[in-house]
Structure 1
Amino acid sequence: MDNCIDLSLLDGVLDEYASVKGSLITILQHTQDIYGYLPKEAIERISERTGIAT
């Protein structure tokens, strides 16, 4: 498994949706579109930015 995930690819998605209530599924779908799967590192970043616990 590659531990070098470029989390900057998520910045645009998180900038747009992190503060929108009810947008977690949308964020996760965009994340999967970007990486082809949901990397643990990305989920942790999403949690930090949205305030939703993992």
Structure 2
Amino acid sequence: MDFKKISLAAVGLFAVYAIVASPAQAADLVQVLFEWISQLVKGIFDFMGDLLNQATDES
């Protein structure tokens, strides 16, 4: 096995252990990650929208 597969398996096992050991903290972490990802996507869409609006205003 190569290092990448072993590392991925170790991270997966740790994630399962963390969820089983403290589900409330794992849920909080998932909520924070979801909020961060949604803000990131919103920022990208806002940026792209501003670029499109700016391009149509110049025409």
Please report the TM-score for the alignment, with normalisation by the length of structure 2.
Answer: 0.29
- Structure with greater contact order relative to length (CA < 8 Å, sep ≥ 6): 1
Work out which of the two has the higher radius of gyration on C-alpha atoms and give 1 or 2.
Answer: 2
Please report the TM-score for the alignment, with normalisation by the length of structure 1.
Answer: 0.31
